Amino acid sequence: MAQILVIEDDPSSLTLLFECLSSMGHNVDCATDREPAESLLACVRYDLVITDLRLTKAGGEDGLEILAGIREDSPSTRLVLVSADLRPETEEAAREIGVDGCFGKPLELKLIQQMVADLGRTRGRAVC
Q: What are the structural domain ranges in the chain?
A: 3-119
Q: 108, exposed or middle or buried, with CB in 10 Å at 0-12, 13-18, 19+?
A: exposed
Q: Which CATH class is domain 3-119?
A: alpha beta
Q: Give the pLDDT confidence of 81-108 residue by residue, as tens digits.
A: 999 989 999 999 999 999 999 999 999 9
Q: Give the pLDDT confidence of 56-68 residue by residue, as tens digits.
A: 765 666 899 999 9
57, 32 in Cβ contact below 8 A?
yes
Q: Residue 125 above 60 pLDDT?
A: no
pLDDT band at 115 (very low <50, low <70, confident <90, very high): confident
Q: Out of 26-30, 32-36, 54-58, 110-114, pick the least confident.
A: 54-58
Q: What is the pTM of this model?
A: 0.89
